Amino acid sequence: MTPPAPPQPHPKAGARRLYGRAKGHPLTARQQDLVDRLGPSMAWPDEGVINPADLLPGCQDHVLEIGFGAAEHLIGQAQRSPGAGFVGIEPFLNGVAKALAGIEDHGLANVRVKRADAREEMERMPDGAFARIFLLFPDPWPKSRHAKRRFVQADTARQLARLLQPGGRLRVATDVRAYADHALPILMETPGLAWRADGPGSWRQNPADHIITRYQSKRLGDIAPVFMEFERV
Query: Which residues are part of the catalytic machinery?
Result: 139
Cα 74 versus chain centre, distance: 10
Neighbours of 125 (CB within 10 A): 19
* Residue 117, annotated as binding a ligand: yes
Task: Decide if 187 contacts 228 (C-beta within 8 A).
Answer: yes
* Residue 231, annotated as binding a ligand: no
* Residue 143, annotated as binding a ligand: yes
* Residue 65, annotated as binding a ligand: yes
* Residue 218, annotated as binding a ligand: no
Cα 62 versus chain centre, distance: 14
Sign of CA dihedral 61, 117, 205, 180: negative
* Residue 90, annotated as binding a ligand: yes
Task: Decide if 195 contacts 154 (C-beta within 8 A).
Answer: no
Closest CA to 116 of 131, 101, 144, 95: 95
Binding residues for substrate, as ranges, are: 143, 175
Binding residues for S-adenosyl-L-methionine, as ranges, are: 65, 90, 117, 139
Binding residues, as ranges, are: 65, 90, 117, 139, 143, 175
